[in-house]
Amino acid sequence: MPTVFPAFAKINLSLEVIGRRPDGYHELRTVFQTVELHDLLTIEVADAPSVTLTCDDPALSCADDNLVARAARSLQAAAGVTQGARIHLQKRIPMQAGLGGGSSDAAVTLLALRRLWKADIPDAELREMAARLGADVPFFLFGGTALGLGRGDLIFPLPDASLPVVVVVSPGQSVPTGLVFRSLNAQLTEATDIHTLTACPPNGADWTAAGNDLEAVVFRAFPAAREARDKLLALGASLARMSGSGSAVFGLFEEGAAGEMARQACLEAGWRAWVSPPVGREAYARRLQGREADPAP
């Protein structure tokens, strides 16, 4: 029987670029938060060892280089699994928008197939496997609110953030992450003790003092992202900023009605928009247990 798993999007409540690492990547300090917007992965174990992937979005490649396929094959090889899987991906999270859709899909594939295949892979090894797939992938093994250091792949869970209504807006421009970082002149910020960072209060109002160091680069190259951020502020958001490397932005609203009005206004502007509540860590783990797929009509 196929099992359906949600793969949630993330927003970055803050994102600081501390500098460039010797390996060419940038040293980051970011606070992640999972939100309700999600893709769906329908997974069925197969007796044959092949892994097949299909997707409802023709713009997305289902070839071997897809992160979902790579995740499945990495786990299969590491655990010596002789079974395969049939995976169908329903895309709802915009691609190359800074919302972590591909990374979430990969992480959920690892978690789901470890259980379905009964693969004997400890958590630490799964985290290493996730980090090899992408910098954001390890976060989606945890969900909720978390501090990310290093490339963003060193994850330190925080208490769940108490956020008001979250509105996520995608202005429709795909932003290649590599392009953003190549364009970035990293302005070093003073190193902060990790114990101070992990103790920072996860409350929506406290993020007003933080920011996203990638905004200036992206706003210059993709002005629609700035326009969407500014529109959320004009519509009454208490805080609005870009998520990750963009071009998606999010706004925090104190009331559900205000958030829904903002969503409608953004839809009328020609953008995709969602009221997308935060998903805490316990709810995240519970919902990633999956559910049986509905019977075929």
Q: How far apart are CA 201 and CA 282, in angstroms?
A: 19
> 10 catalytic, yes or no?
yes
Marked catalytic residue, from 136, 153, 160, 213: 136
Tokens of 176: 């290649």
Could you tell me which residues come within 8 angstroms of residue 166 by beta carbon, excluding any fewer than 6 positions away?
Answer: 11, 35, 250, 251, 252, 253, 259, 275, 276, 277, 278
Three-state secondary-structure class, residue 135: coil
Tokens of 93: 């999270």
Amino acid at position 127, single letter: R
> 160 catalytic, yes or no?
no
Instruction: Round to the nearest angstrom and report the end-to-end CA distance of the chain.
Output: 15
Three-state secondary-structure class, residue 262: helix
Whether 184 and 177 have beta carbons less than 8 Å apart is answered as no
Q: How far apart are CA 79 and CA 102, in angstroms?
A: 23
Q: How far apart are CA 273 and CA 259, in angstroms?
A: 10
Catalytic residues: 10, 136
